[in-house]
Amino acid sequence: MTEIADILPELFALRRDIHAHPELGFREHRTAARIADELRKLGIDVHEGIGTTGLVGVLKGKREGVGSVGLRADMDALPIHEATNLPWASRTPGTFHGCGHDGHVAMLLGAARVLAADPDFAGTVNFIFQPAEEGQGGARVMIEEGLFDRFPCDRVYALHNWLGLPAGTISTRPGAIMGAADKFRITLTGKGGHAAIPQDSPDAILAAASLVQQLNTIVARDVPPYAAAVVSVTEIHGGHAHNVIPAEVMVGGTVRTFDPAVQDRIEDRIRAMIKGIEASFEVQGALVYDRYYPATINDPQAAADALEVAATVATAELAPEPAPTSEDFSFMLQKRPGAYIWLGQGTPDHPSPLHNPRYDFNDSVIETGIRLHVALARHWLG
């Protein structure tokens, strides 16, 4: 039987190697090849090229059974320049594992080692290594290319490191755990003209200023107080000279929600506000509204099972509320019952938040992550 403590040094080295060679979404060729090689060494059946660079390792238990479970890890890095100055820092300028996906890969490969060494379970474990989680919908692409048709999963789980929890603490909740992510881009078009003669030119800048103020009233006045939502304007672009009223201004931002009805309500209000701006300022408004990630909704029983199992390997606690950040594991949970789980890695030595140039995955939680993956698989396939 493989002892987890014995394989940790190799997994630390593997994690840091992946960290030093980060790759953006749908370009994880080196990472995927490294994973495939590790899985093949374990005698696990490997299927590559699912969703461009995604891959699945299939391990069958030695006991009779038709059950199946999927365990997912994401592989992609972020377009951020790393500022950690660590020995294993990114060797690719402007690309950086600032969300811990390198650690997720190491934990799932560690679980594959443990389960392959002692496949005393009934059924199949599918190790899903997913590309392009960071805003590009790699999970959706894998599903569209037949992920669950080719590799059936009665349950599917994903584990993500979480700095808001003490290192090694495991947490999840039934229902919504991560928010839906929408993005909007509003173009306001006037006529353009001389800044000294504003009466002759509908002012797109003034229209944009009014629109930004109105957008920031949506959550306070159009979302029920028992619901949660975020509307953030994050971009305004327009103008190029002090004496020119620009013909066009762009306003962009994001919406985060947990309830599809609230999501619908906010989009409807944005569209209504644009119509009002058009009438008030004599400009033309065009909206591009993209619901790129749905809310991550855990199956209640799968979440309960995950907490029960987690309590056997570490401190486990019910998450009191969802997070407004988003996750494309949501697409997998729309197709199969399962749960998204947080693994705490917060310590005084790891204070930098996710997506921060000074972030680095806390290797001390890799063992807990391996134990949880293994326990989830054995529980479901017991």
How many domains would you assign to the chain? 2
Domain termination site, one of 269, 293, 317: 293
186 plus 156 within the same structural domain: no
103, 15 contact by CB (below 8 A): yes
Q: Are residues 241 and 265 in the same domain?
A: yes
Per residue in 162-212, pLDDT (tens digit) is 998 999 999 999 999 999 999 999 999 999 999 999 998 999 999 999 999
Same domain, 194 and 169: no
pLDDT of residue 352: 83
Same domain, residue pair 185 and 169 = no
Rounded mean pLDDT, 17-39: 98
Angle 61-172-132 from CA coordinates, rounded to 5° = 70
Residues 51 and 69 in one domain: yes
Residue 108 has a pLDDT of 98
CB 158 within 8 A of CB 341: yes
- Beta strands 155-166 and 338-346 are parallel
From 277, 293, 309, the end of a domain falls on: 293
For residue range 203-238, list pLDDT tens digits in order.
Answer: 999 999 999 999 999 999 999 999 999 999 999 999
Task: Write out the DSSP string of 279-322.
Answer: HHHT-EEEEEEEEEE--EEE-HHHHHHHHHHHTTTS-EEE-SS-
91 and 170, same domain (yes or no): yes
Confidence (pTM): 0.93
Q: Whole domain around residue 234: which residue ranges?
A: 180-293
**Mean pLDDT, rounded, for 296-301:** 98
The whole-number pLDDT of residue 346 equals 86
Q: Note whether 184 and 128 are same-domain residues.
A: no
- Write down the pLDDT at residue 1: 60
Task: Give pLDDT, residue 347.
Answer: 75
Tell me, yes or no, whether 122 and 60 share the same domain: yes
